[in-house]
Chains A and B, each alone.
Chain A
Amino acid sequence: MNFEFSEEQHLLRDQARAFLAEFCPTDTVRAVLDSDNEWDRGLWQRVAEMGWTATVIPEAYGGLGLSHYELAILAEEMGRSVAPLPFSSSVYLASEAIVAFGSEGQKAEWLPKLASGECVGTVAMWERPGALTLEQLATRRLGDSISGVKSPVPDAGVADVVVVLAHSEAGLEACLVPMDQAGVQQQSVMTLDASRGHSTLTFDHAQAEVLGHSTIEQCAWERLIDGAAVMFAWEQLGIAESALIQARDYALQRFAFGRAIGSYQAIKHKLAAMYVKNTLARSNAYYGVWALAENSADLPLAAATARVAGIQAAAFAAEENIQTHGGMGFTWEFDCHFYYRRAKLLSLVIGSEAVWQDRLVSGLTHQPATAA
């Protein structure tokens, strides 16, 4: 039985945690939240110099060719530090989509730039409220042009290339659309987490290339989203851990009625419940990353389990961290809201809790899953 990260992987975690503690303290998050910026460009450059954006991109395309175990470790630390970066959009989604579906030429063109961090990518899926139904996408590709409206698109304001989910007469496609062109209009939209930028993208006969020059099967898209779900689960776990630590520290120092509030069972049981959910989320995230890294047939179930556990742990810890802080937790000045915002944001980004609970049960009963 070896259900644990390797020594080298543990070292990577230590290194990432120390790096982000130095270069991404919560002041960094606050600075982005307080400004019109959609990211911290300087931090992105540092992260790229560390090679993190290149982690799972194959060496042939300028990447490090490491495994998803390494990426999972980085994802957890991204969550722990609530980093104001387009890491998930560019690394778990856009880069992975190009690796999975791109032609040789498309990989050679885009992956080295995504690996180096010189380019930022994102994926545009959502068009309207409600769960995403792949059959009902309105965005259309005809010839080499694409038209439609996608919203919200995370990190589109800082992206160089967007992978747009669309339909042509042939079927479902993932289209590569460079941002720097007249046919793409980007309009920033406010979301509940302004430490990450979001946009409405309007494509009006924008120039587009179909990834891999062919349609993609729905199950292939779901495979990509399953992989992203595992990474988001690790990021959500990082958020949950930070929120628990913040709540614990506050409960130790805040006194009421002559004693630390952490000595009251009402608070202790709340924090113990956080620990329980975080532990379940971590163990499920372990299995998720194992299934992803080893390309197991269990991936759909493992990813859904990790995703649901991650959503629940992050939301609970973030919500109850504020509650533990009382009125101070409701202020802009305290950092509690960073976790609350990011936890909710990440729970919505690739399909929300009910969608993944449904996929989980489909995984258990071996029915074909519905889309994200």
Chain B
Amino acid sequence: MDFNDTPAEARFREEAATWLSSNVPTDDAFWALTPLEQARLWQKRKYDDGWACLGWAPEWGGRGASPIEEVIWRQEEAHYELPTNFFLIGQGMIAPTLMAWATADDKARYLPPLASGEEVWCQLFSEPAGGSDLAALRTRAEPDGDDWIINGQKIWTSGAHYADYGVIVVRTDPTLPKHKGLSYFYIDMRAPGVEVKPIKQLTGDADFNEVYFTDVRVSDRQRLGDVGQGWQVALTTLMNERAAIGGGIGKMDVDLAIAIAQDVELDGQPAIENAAVRTRIADWYVQEAGLKYTGYRSLTALSRGALPGPENSIGKLVGAPKMQAMASFLMDLLGASGAITDEALAAKAGIIQRAYMGAPGMRIAGGTDEIMANIIAERVLGLPQEPRLDKGIPFNEVPTG
């Protein structure tokens, strides 16, 4: 075993690092731009030089890079503080769906501006009545000549307030069982009848939106997959979700925990000397290192041209609760001052408190802890699904509570 690149990987890394070193925008270039404008500037610069969406085919703006090359690029890009989150959902989840299901014309029209950051996409799946049970969604589309008329409501839509386009799953036949009556469209977010309302989260921020549809007219040409095939198309999007979600909030890791535990006192000595503190930190390190080395195993598979195993499915299930538990514990160590969020006064400029407040969202987004455990149990361990009371029943006869 070794942690070195192959000669070809090392050459690629060198090339990426060299390009980055002379092309990352200066603070001056970002000055006075909104975060989205900064992100667009950076994305366009990458696109122009062939460093955007590396794995995509060249005609769509990529360079046909291998998965390991994409990882190497991300590692090198991560050495800089750059805005990339705006395009994660579009490039990470929606683009693979377009590649699999859209017409050649649509791919040529929509993929290049998605790669360049000129057009931003959002994903309109979740509804008030359909979260973990996503296929229970009720937004409906009814045919009207060559068009469809959409009415209903979506929720938890990241970026809907700045997105140009969105993909949406709707119910086209409520008399069929749940999964069978769905269809999948892409829509213009500025079409008449689309109304975006930000949701104020418990953090006080508003990263998500409610999106209301009132008689929104969509051409049948904007349908991906057959009528009634929407669930299958949605699965293409969702399969790429765990890759697109993640990251974290600030730098909540064991290094930070040790720094705090060395700074504050417990029983008249640095908290790091306390056995109970050491036990907790050790357990988190086991999780943190375990995830890191699990990632190395997956990278090895990619480097060999193989698919990573199912071990990656543990990442969010371990990482999100760990972030919450660590943040809570570190605030405890700080005592009453642990409550202070004022950046000027709080330890580590408040990232512990922000992590604690953001953690509940991390444990829910992209599949709750419970759904993630179900996925591991069913897809990795081969355990059967729970019996479903709505199975095979027309959707409009399913009890709704």
1/0 contact trace for A72-100 toward B, CB 8 Å?
Answer: 00000000000000000000000000000
Which single residue of chain A is at the shortest CB-CB distance from B68?
Answer: A1
B272 engages A3 (CB within 8 Å): no
Q: Of all chain A residues, which has the CB nearest B377?
A: A268
Question: A273-B373, A308-B283, A357-B283 are contacts. A2–B1 as well, Cβ < 8 Å?
Answer: yes
Task: Point out the residues of chain B lying under 8 angstroms from A5, CB to CB.
Answer: 1
Chain B hits for A269, CB < 8 A: 370, 373-374, 377
Check if B376 sits within 8 Å of A272, measured CB to CB. yes
Flag if A248 contacts B383 (CB, 8 Å): yes
A364 to B373, CA, bound (A): 31
Residues of A within 8 A of B376 (CB): 272, 275-276
Interface residues of B in 378-392 (CB under 8 A from A): 378, 380-387
* Cross-chain contact A268 with B294 (CB below 8 angstroms): no
Q: Which of A69, A263, A309, A357 contacts B387 (CB 8 A)?
A: A263
Chain A 218-251 near chain B by CB (<8 Å), digits 1 or 0: 0000000000000000000000000010001001
Given contacts A265-B374, A268-B383, A271-B377, contact A358 B297 (CB under 8 A): no
Interface string of A53-69 (1 = CB under 8 A from B): 00000000000000001
The size of the chain A interface, using a CB distance under 8 A, is 49
With a cutoff of 8 Å between Cβ atoms, the chain B residues found around residue A268 in the complex are 373-374, 377-378, 381, 383
Contact at A308–B286, with CB atoms within 8 Å? Answer: yes
Interface residues of B in 274-294 (CB under 8 A from A): 275, 278-279, 281-283, 285-287, 289-294
Contact A263 B384 (CB under 8 A): yes
Is there contact, CB below 8 Å, between B303 and A280? no
What's the Cα separation between A95 and B18 when bound, in Å? Answer: 50
B side interface size, CB within 8 A: 52
Chain B residue at smallest Cβ distance from A269: B373
- Is residue B199 contacting chain A, with contact meaning CB distance below 8 A? no
Asked if B293 and A286 make an inter-chain contact with CB atoms under 8 angstroms apart, the answer reads yes
B226 at the interface (CB under 8 A from A): no
Interface core residue of B291, B292, B314, B380 (most chain A CB under 10 Å) = B314
Tell me if A280 and B286 are in contact (CB < 8 A).
Answer: yes
Q: Does A122 contact B (CB under 8 A)?
A: no
Contact A262 B1, beta carbon cutoff 8 Å = no
CA distance A282 to B370 in the complex (A): 23
List chain A residues, Cβ under 8 A from B279: 354, 357
The prevalent SS among residues of A at the interface is: helix
A265-B386 contact given A275-B314, A361-B278, CB 8 Å threshold: yes
Once the chains bind, are B275 and A354 in contact (CB under 8 Å)? yes
Contact across chains for B383 and A262 when beta carbons are under 8 A apart: yes
Asked if A151 CB lies within 8 Å of chain B CBs, one says no
Q: Report the number of A-B residue pairs with Cβ-Cβ less than 8 Å.
A: 159
Checking A3, A267, A275, A293 against B3 with a beta-carbon cut-off of 8 angstroms, the contacting residue is: A3
Mask, A246-259, CB within 8 Å of B = 1, is 00100110000001
Residues of B within 8 A of A214 (CB): none
Instruction: Report yes or no: A361 in contact with B272, Cβ–Cβ below 8 A.
Output: yes
Alpha-carbon separation in the docked complex, A286 to B301 (Å) = 14
Which chain B residue lies CB-closest to A247? B381
Q: Mark B1-42, 1 if CB is under 8 A from A, else 0.
A: 111110001000000000000000000000000000000000
- What B residues does A69 contact at CB under 8 A? 1
Residues of chain A within 8 A (CB-CB) of B290 are 279-281, 283-284, 309
- Asked if A4 lies at the interface with its beta carbon under 8 angstroms from chain B, I say yes
Q: Does A360 contact B (CB under 8 A)?
A: yes
- Interchain CA distance A357-B254 in the complex, whole Å: 14
Asked if B317 CB lies within 8 Å of chain A CBs, one says yes
Q: 13 other contacts beyond A3-B297, A275-B380, A361-B282, with CB at 8 A cut-off?
A: A3-B1, A251-B383, A260-B383, A268-B374, A269-B373, A279-B311, A283-B290, A283-B291, A284-B286, A289-B1, A354-B279, A358-B275, A365-B272
A-B contact pairs, 27 of them (CB 8 A): A3-B1, A3-B3, A4-B301, A69-B1, A252-B383, A252-B384, A259-B387, A263-B385, A268-B373, A271-B381, A272-B374, A275-B314, A275-B377, A276-B376, A283-B293, A286-B297, A290-B1, A294-B1, A305-B289, A354-B275, A357-B283, A360-B282, A360-B285, A361-B281, A361-B282, A365-B258, A365-B272
Taking beta carbons and an 8 Å cutoff, which residues of A are in contact with B? 1-5, 69, 244, 248, 251-252, 259-260, 262-265, 267-269, 271-273, 275-276, 279-284, 286-287, 289-290, 293-294, 304-305, 308-309, 312, 354, 356-358, 360-361, 364-365
